[in-house]
A and B are shown apart, each in its own frame.
Chain A
Amino acid sequence: MNLDDALQTFIVEAGELLEQMEEALLRIEQTPDDADTINAIFRAAHTIKGSAGLFGFDHVVAFTHVAESVLDRVRSDELRITSELVAIFLSVRDHLGALIAHIADGKEPDDDTHRASAELVTKLRVYLGQPPPVVSQALVPAKQNGTVETQAGDGVGTDNWHISLRFGPDVLRNGMDPLSFIRYLTTFGEIVHIVTVVDAVPRLAELDPEASYLGYEIAFRTDADKAAIEGAFEFVRNDARIRILPPHSKVADYKRLIDDLPQEELRLGEILILCGTLTRAELDAALRHQTTLADETLSPIGEVLVDQKLVQPQVVAAALEKQKQVKEHKATESGLIRVNAEKLDIHINLIGELIIASAGASLIAQHTAIPELLEASARLSRLVEEVRDSALTLRMVEIGSTFNRFQRVVRDVSVDLGKDIRLEISGADTDLDKTVVEKIGDPLTHLVRNSMDHGIESVEVRLAHGKPAHGTVRLNAYHDSGSIVIEVADDGGGLSRERILAKAIERGLVKPDQQLSDREIHELIFEPGFSTVEKVSNLSGRGVGMDVVKRNISALRGTVEIDSTEGVGTTMRIRLPLTLAIIDGFLVGVSGSTFVVPLDMVVECVELSAEETSASQGRDHLDLRGEVLPFIRLKQLFDIPEPPPVDIDLAADDTFDNGNAPPRNGLPSTLLTAEGAAALARDPELAFLLHPVKRENVVVVQYAGRRTGLVVDKLMGEFQTVIRPLGEVFNGIDGISGFTILGSGNVALILDVPGLVRRVAGREVRRNAKATSYALAE
């Protein structure tokens, strides 16, 4: 394994562990005594420390160690989780994140980082009941002598390893015999001395013959490394307390060994002498350390180094037994594999090409009219469709992990604001495209902060309004007609219509006599630099942000809308396309041009009879089963000349016409999709579609709850398309969101339905406003 790869894995894993740690920390606040959660936090810290040790990031090890020691006290019920402790550990988690980020950037930690480490360590030490040590000693363990063996000074004289074993009561029942481990030791070294600690064995009458009572203190001479020794106890690691002290360990470490078994203190000291591990003088020195405070400050280095050695072997051993590791990994990660996102993108792109190619192939099959070929191409199309769907799900991730991040945001911000705010999450299992998830984080953060700062009132105001003292921010996600909707809702004061309007008039955004709907007024908060807040907090209120939020969301082909009731709360609704790459399209023809409407926005298709056409003349809406349906004539919108040209010549067309396009012959009109042609073959009456007369068709589309009709000449059926962005030149074109290449090689423009719907809605509102003001004027 390449070290860089390993380092990369370390960084990724550390990131994940820190996330788990944060999640657990937030959970522990609610359930302070949950052992599982405490263990989860501990494990995260411990694993990071271990891996960091393997790579020699001593500063990470030193820092994490202190945190781990505090956690250890929590685990052993010496400390209780308090909100202060959680707060400290959240900063510990952040600081670790910063340390890992430094490593990822390949930078050495700077002075600020060291200072931050020192501050946190000082805070943590309070919980260890230790006086703050000389910082430099605790945090910067001597770099060169990373191993205990090389440390001179107060190391003990013996050349032997010392192994201290205390087996848990269930070892025997679990089918393991402690003696077999000891016997195994003799295969690669010599047991210089062994003391069987039988103190725990009761008299026969009280003996549980199937429980294990024995412990061992072993002086062991071997050339093997620590990993090998530790490996011997691999299977009982969880069932036994195993301490392995390397030769020449510091006296303080033996002292700690003795301390760990207080009830055996004296005896263990004697045992160590018996084992020849310690001399009488060394034991005396060790016990004296207890009283001299000066040595306490030294012990962290010893702790760190020894613990480093304790951890290292597990990792090394794992690396050596690669196969085993892979197996274990599989079990723990429930069969997940990491794939580079770029590879996935390439894969999706290729599938896009495949779809186009398959559409082309089926078109040719139609032309040749060979039954076998038609059958084969139909099968191919179906498979391609399945491949497309499965490829798209590869990129889908649940939004839950993004939502969970906000637990922390809400917690921190509510502390900052001095408000009691809770976060409720629903729809966490809603899937959406990974690229969208990545980009939605910042806008969401902003909206959540905004809700907390401006939306939710202070406790006094809330109580005065008869609301519960604690505010609630809700994050919700769901799928709705081809888009994902993410809601950020609060039960705060809602947007103040008057304040916004007054501010907008003051800033000249609207005229004083202008009639605006609630929705339009709410939209004003997305204007750059707009803020009604008198008091600027450090969170928000500067008027920077909402416009950025809107811009970011628009860049994802999404929209954001506001639903607010004064005094009751505000809901921000972000609507985003599910995926950025491929859509199911509905082909329509207008004169000679072909357009694609995203299929999931199409509600129905109706025919516009000659009478209706004449009846609606001059007006832009029709009567759809008693409802008013505004519509747009695409022909007018895009200014398409009435006598259809043979081909619409877009600049892009030339590029794809270099002889590669399949032959176009025999077909009336410009295009016919495979489905269209097949339908025609089955039902000759459909032929009227190909001969546009006076009849017009209306495609009813729906977006964000509003319906609009698009008047077109021809309906040409479903079509899978790969969205390609328009180049710089055509970027500004209204009503078009991209283009695609048809099976025939022709270009079809993809209609920007949200844009069109908005356009129609805007037109209506303006007209209504005009009508109202006329009415008022009269």
Chain B
Amino acid sequence: METKCAVTRIAIEGELSIFTAATERLHLLDAFESGNEVEVDLSQVSEIDSAGIQLMVAAKREAATRSTSLRFTGHSPAVFDIIELCDLAGHLGDPMLITARP
């Protein structure tokens, strides 16, 4: 966890799924506790499922309640696919880079 310009950056690596959701939730809550804006790097997320998606939605909501902001960045292809599938890009509101499909 590194802190710079009042932004707490964290990265989620590997799975973002039902198996890791509980840990990642605490991880994210910790980041919010810093009082800074939070930026979450998703570039290393290899897999994501509904639990991951709703964690993202809940994190956004948390940020709104705390009147701070939370950004997801560097969506990995797996995350990108799911957000497309659920048509949640608008809801989450983070710019996503459209990457070339492997």
Contact = CB atoms under 8 A, between A and B. Distances in A.
Contacts of A196: 53, 86-88, 91
A210 B51 contact: yes
Contacts of B22: 209-210
A195 interface: yes
Contact of B62 (A172, A180, A204, A209): A204
Interface string B35-77: 0000000000000011101110111011011000000000000
Contacts of B53: 179, 196, 214
A194 B87 contact: yes
Contacts of A213: 54
Nearest to A200: B54
Nearest to A196: B86
A207 interface: yes
Given A203-B61, A204-B62, A212 B50 contact: yes
Contacts of A205: 29, 62, 65
B28 to A, nearest CB: 6
A182 interface: yes
Q: Is the interface of B mostly helix, strand, loop or mixed?
A: helix
Contact of A172 (B18, B28, B29, B59): B18
A177 interface: yes
Between A177, A183, A195, the greatest number of chain B beta carbons within 10 A of the residue's beta carbon is seen for: A177
Interface string A169-193: 0011100011110110010000101
Contacts of B49: 172, 177, 179-180
A513 to B, nearest CB: 94
Given A204-B59, A204-B62, A210 B86 contact: no
A209 B51 contact: yes
Interface centre among A178, A194, A203, A213 (most CB of B within 10 A): A203
Contact of B28 (A180, A194, A195, A204): A204
A153 interface: no
A179 B21 contact: no
A195 B61 contact: no
A203 B87 contact: no
Contacts of A178: 50
Given A198-B88, A210-B22, A204 B82 contact: no
Interface in B1-51: 18, 21-22, 24-25, 28-29, 32, 49-51
A204 B87 contact: no
B100 interface: no
A202 interface: yes
A201 interface: yes
B32 A198 contact: no
Contacts of A173: 18
Contact of B50 (A177, A194, A203): A177
B85 interface: yes
Contact of B25 (A171, A207, A216): A207
A201 B50 contact: no
Contacts of A172: 18, 49-51
A179 B54 contact: no
A204 B29 contact: yes
A204 B88 contact: no
A198 B54 contact: yes
A13 B88 CA distance: 47
Contacts of B18: 172-173, 177, 209-210
A202 B58 contact: yes
Contact of B21 (A194, A202, A209): A209
Nearest to B65: A203
A216 B18 CA distance: 19
A433 B94 CA distance: 76
A212 B21 CA distance: 12
A276 to B, nearest CB: 13
A186 B86 CA distance: 12
Contacts of A214: 50, 53-54
Interface in A570-602: none
A202 B57 CA distance: 8
A207 B54 contact: yes
Given A172-B51, A177-B18, A210-B22, A201 B58 contact: yes
Contacts of A204: 25, 28-29, 32, 55, 58-59, 61-62
22 contacts: A172-B49, A177-B18, A177-B51, A179-B49, A179-B53, A179-B85, A186-B85, A194-B87, A195-B87, A198-B88, A198-B91, A201-B54, A201-B57, A201-B58, A202-B58, A203-B61, A207-B25, A207-B54, A209-B22, A209-B55, A212-B51, A214-B54
Given A182-B85, A204-B62, 4 more contacts: A179-B50, A209-B18, A213-B54, A214-B54
Interface of A: 171-173, 177-180, 182-183, 186, 191, 193-196, 198, 201-205, 207, 209-210, 212-214, 216
Interface of B: 18, 21-22, 24-25, 28-29, 32, 49-51, 53-55, 57-59, 61-62, 64-65, 82, 85-88, 91
Q: What are the nearest 7 A-B pairs in CB distance?
A: A204-B62, A209-B21, A207-B58, A196-B86, A203-B62, A203-B61, A177-B49
